[in-house]
Amino acid sequence: MPFDLHDTIAALSSPPGPAQRGIVRISGSAIRDALNGLFRPDDPPLWETARLPQRHPGSFWLADIQRWMSVDIFLWPTQRSYTGQPMAEVHTCGSPPLLEAILAAIYAADVRPARGGEFTLRSFLAGKVDLLQAEAVLGVIDADDQVQLNAALQQLAGGISGDINTVREDLLSLLADLEAGLDFVEEDIEFVDNREILARLTLAETRITSLLEQAVDRMRSTGTARVVLAGRPNVGKSTLFNALLGRDAALVSEIAGTTRDYLAAEVNWHGRPIELLDTAGWELQSEGPLQAALALREDQLQRADLIIWCVSADEPPDPLLKEADCGNARSLTVLTKCDLPDTTGPASALRVSAVTGAGLEELTAAVASELSQDSAAPQQLLGTTGARCRDSLHGAVESLQRAREVAELSAGDELLSIEIRVALEELGKVSGAVYTDDILDRIFSKFCIGK
C-alpha cells in the first residue's frame, strides 16, 4: 500500500444501504479547496475562519442532479483529527443515490477515492493510534458477539498497548543504565548491580510471557468455540445433539455405535457462537471401519475448546472416560436420560433429558459460562492481533531469557545490551514502533473502505 499522505481522500464512512443518516469522510490538506466550490455554509464567516472542530450546517451542490441538498459538515480544520490531518465529514440523509452523488462531486474536485483502511492508516502514521489500536478498530467493526466486541474495545482503549509500553520503558531504562556503565568502564563505576539487573529482566520476562499466553488464548478462543459431545456408545449423545439443535440432524438408534463419522452444527448460546460436534462412541481400541471414526473423534477431542462428557444416568460412571487425552480443553460431565426411573450419578453433574427437554437450558448456560472463562481477563488481545504478535512476543521472551543467562554468567554488559535491544525491537513490532510496509499491507488490507 503506497503511503500517498499528501493526497486528499474521500469515501463513504457509514454502512452501505438506505439509512436515516449517511456519512462521507474526507481527509487531507486540500479539503477546504475541495469543499469551497461545493458547500454553501449558513454562516460563511464561521466556515472561513474556523480553527476548532465544529459543525457547519449548509447546502451541498450536486452537479449530477443540478440542485442544492441540505447537509451538515463536521470540520476538523487542523491536525487535531482522527487522521492527524484536516478532516471533514458530510452528514446527510442516508440515501445511496444521494451519497453517490455527493462522492461524485467531491471526486471531481481533485479528491481521490480512499483505499480500504486508509483513514486508520493515516491515523497510525500520524501517531494518533498504535498498531494494536488500529487493529482494534477493525475488531469493533467485525465483532460477531459481545465477547469479541469487549475484547476489541479493551484493546482500542489501550490496555494492551499500556502493558507493552510499560515493559518497553522498563527495558529502555535498564538499557540506559547499562550503556552509561559502558561509558565509564575504565573508572569502574557501577550504575546498576547484577542483582537488580536480574530482577528487572525477570519482571519484564514475566510480563511479556503473560501477554504471550493471552495471545495464544485469544487465537484459540476468538470466534466460534468448538464444543464436542463425547462418551460411551449409546449413552444418548446423538439424541442430546438433536435436542440441543431442535431438529433431527443425527441418526438415532438403540444399536450402539450408530455414529461413525462426526456431525457438526453452528449454534449460538447466550451470545457465544459455538460449533457443536457429535462424535463416535468412546472405545479405547477397535478394528475395522470403526477405527477411522475413532481417529476422527480423537482429532476432534484434541481440537476442542470444551468437551461435554455424556454419561447415561441409568448406568454407573464410566472410569474409562478418565483415560481420554483431551489436551487443554475444559470439560463438563452431563447425565443423560434423566427422565428414566431409578437414575443415579453424582449430584454435582448436570442432569438433562433430551426427551422432556429438562436441563437443556441449564446445560447451554453452563457451556457459555465455561467458555467465557477463556475471555475473563480485563485486558485482552484480539485473535487477529494474537496471531500477528505471537512470534514477536515469543522472540522477546527468548531474548530476555538469553539476557538473564548472560547476567548470571557475568559475561559482560555489551552482550546484555544486545539481547535487550533485540527484545525491544520485537516489542516494537507488536505496537508498531517498528514496522515494515508488508506488515501494514497485511493489516490495513483487511479494512473496508471508509475506515
Binding residues for (6S)-5-formyl-5,6,7,8-tetrahydrofolate: 25, 89, 128, 451
Q: Which residue has the cell 486528499?
A: 8
Q: Which residue has the cell 522477546?
A: 396
Task: List phi, psi (to 5°) of 332.
Answer: -130, 145
Alpha carbons 16 and 195: distance in angstroms, whole number: 60
Taking the CA of residue 365 as centre, how many other CA atoms within 13 Å lie in the half-sphere pointing to its CB? 6
Q: Which of 164, 97, 122, 103 is nearest to 7 (CA)?
A: 122
Q: CA distances (Å), 37 to each of 67, 129, 139, in order?
A: 14, 33, 37
Angle at 311 between CA 290 and CA 337, to 5 degrees: 110
Alpha carbons 154 and 82: distance in angstroms, whole number: 19
The C-alpha cell at 96 is: 445511496
Alpha carbons 408 and 146: distance in angstroms, whole number: 46
Pair 337, 358: CB distance under 8 Å: no
Alpha carbons 319 and 284: distance in angstroms, whole number: 12
Q: Return binding residues.
A: 25, 89, 128, 234-239, 253-259, 278-281, 451
Q: Specify the DSSP element, H or E, that contains 57.
A: strand 54-62
Q: Return binding residues for K(+).
A: 234, 253, 255, 258
3-state secondary structure of 438: helix
Residue type, 358: A
> Cα-atom radius of gyration of the chain, to the nearest Å?
30
Q: Which of 299, 356, 292 is nearest to 329 (CA)?
A: 299
Q: Return binding residues for Mg(2+).
A: 238, 259
Q: Specify the DSSP element, H or E, that contains 427.
A: helix 413-431
Q: Which residue has the cell 455405535?
A: 257
Q: Which residues pair with 55 in a beta bridge?
A: 74
Residue type, 402: R
Alpha carbons 210 and 439: distance in angstroms, whole number: 24
Task: List phi, psi (to 5°) of 219.
Answer: -60, -35
The C-alpha cell at 156 is: 482500542
Q: What are the strands of the beta sheet with 272-278, ordered from one edge?
A: 263-269, 272-278, 225-231, 306-312, 330-336, 350-351
Q: Return binding residues for GTP.
A: 234-239, 253-259, 278-281
